[in-house]
Amino acid sequence: MELISRTDTKIPHIALVSSTLDLTFLKTAFEASGLNVRLSIYPEPGFKDADVAVAWNPPHGLLADMPNVKMVHSIAAGLDNIFADPKLPAVPVCRVVDSQHALGMAEYAIWSVLLFHREMDRHLQNAAHKRWERPGQKAAQDYTVGILGFGAIGRTVGRSLRALNYNVRGWARSPKEEAGIATYCGDAQLPDFLNGCDALICLLPLTDATRGILNADLFAHLPQGAAIINMGRGEHMVEADLLAAIDTGHLRGAVLDVFLKEPLPEESQLWTHPKIFATPHIASMPDPRDVAAQIFENATRVLAGQEPLNSGSRESGY
């Protein structure tokens, strides 16, 4: 990455904007890193004057009411929550690219697959009731893991599971190739991909085409006793369909790290269902200092009239 000269650039004014997340941690990271910026946190007075909006689930229409904004920057890899704003200004929208992010996702995926493959879900329930059972074990090579969304992160997850000898298959909208992994593409091949999956990992981006894709129709193509692992977006899941599929016994259970509404409401059944393991969107979290450094680099670029790094596409939604 070619860094630009700072000598002729103004001090960036950065506003931290979210309707769902306390971004104070990011302000602390900027301050600890010694980066020369002016920071405002929505809804503090003066935030609307910022040059750059750092956003996560920003209130719709708010960014359009910031007359000086030259770039909107996510705090993570996902951009769907920003592109969802129908009044989003016509400025670059950039993501954080973290070299460790995919490895963190792979770690979470391995834990989730092992939970079901080695029947730890069953053993945890048995332990709670002081029940001693020793079921037979299935070899990893006989356990099929499907990865729905076979982009860069999906490939890293797939390779990590293959290294443990799992039978891995991947699905994407367009054709992909990966040594040792069976790949499928397009709507026509989706049923064949789903058939035979013991565990299904969702790593799709959120678009109009993928919203609600984890629904009763998709679950029906999975074999009896399959497990769901959602590491994509909460909007991929039709929660009522998941609960019904588990309660009827068609699905074994689920690990969920993302939800339609975050934080997950206390009254949600997903917290208390005995066959659902809910975690608070922690599958992989970047170092806040790295996030601050990338935002600062892009802020100085746009203020110097240069193209920022890692911008997203409004057309694709990611």
Instruction: Return the HEC string of 36-59.
Output: CCEEEECCCCCHHHCCEEEEECCC
pLDDT at 3 over 80: no
Q: What is the pLDDT of residue 71?
A: 98
What is the spatial distance between Cα 63 and Cα 205, in angstroms, rounded to a whole number?
A: 23
Can you name the residues that pair with 168 across neighbouring β-strands? 145
pLDDT at 112 over 60: yes
Q: What is the pLDDT of residues 182-210, one digit of tens each?
A: 999 999 999 999 999 999 999 999 999 99
Question: Helix, strand or coil for residue 308?
Answer: coil
Kindly tell me the number of DSSP H helices and DSSP E strands found in the chain: 10, 12
Q: What is the pLDDT of residues 242-296, one digit of tens each?
A: 999 999 999 999 999 999 999 999 999 999 999 999 999 999 999 999 999 999 9
pLDDT at 113 over 90: yes
For residues 6 and 290, the answer to whether their CB atoms sit within 8 Å is no
Least-confidence region, from 1-15, 167-181, 278-292 = 1-15
Following CA atoms 49, 55, 60, 62 in sequence, which dihedral angle do they give, to the nearest 10 degrees?
-10
Q: What is the pLDDT of residue 99?
A: 79
Q: What is the pLDDT of residues 18-62, one digit of tens each?
A: 999 999 999 999 999 999 999 999 999 999 999 999 999 999 999
Q: What is the pLDDT of residues 284-303, one digit of tens each?
A: 999 999 999 999 999 999 99
Q: Tell whether omega for the bond before 43 is within 30 degrees of 0, i.e. cis.
A: yes
How crowded is the C-beta side of 91, counted as CA atoms within 13 Å?
27
Instruction: Report CA-CA distances (Å) from 136 to 110, 117, 165, 256, 314.
Output: 20, 11, 18, 26, 50
pTM for this prediction: 0.90
**Is pLDDT larger for residue 318 or for residue 30?**
30
pLDDT at 10 over 90: no
Which residue out of 169, 236, 281, 301 is catalytically annotated? 281
For residues 283 and 256, the answer to whether their CB atoms sit within 8 Å is no
Domains of the chain, first to last: 13-98+286-303 (3.40.50.720), 101-278 (3.40.50.720)
Residue 281 a catalytic site member? yes
Which residue out of 117, 233, 252, 301 is catalytically annotated? 233
What is the spatial distance between Cα 80 and Cα 135, in angstroms, rounded to a whole number?
A: 43
| Stretch 128-150: mean pLDDT | 97
For residues 170 and 182, the answer to whether their CB atoms sit within 8 Å is yes
Give the pLDDT band of residue 7 (cuts 50, 70, 90).
Answer: very low
Question: Helix, strand or coil for residue 186?
Answer: helix
Instruction: Report CA-CA distances (Å) from 215 to 228, 240, 244.
Output: 11, 9, 10
Can you name the residues that pair with 53 across neighbouring β-strands? 15, 72
pLDDT at 180 over 60: yes
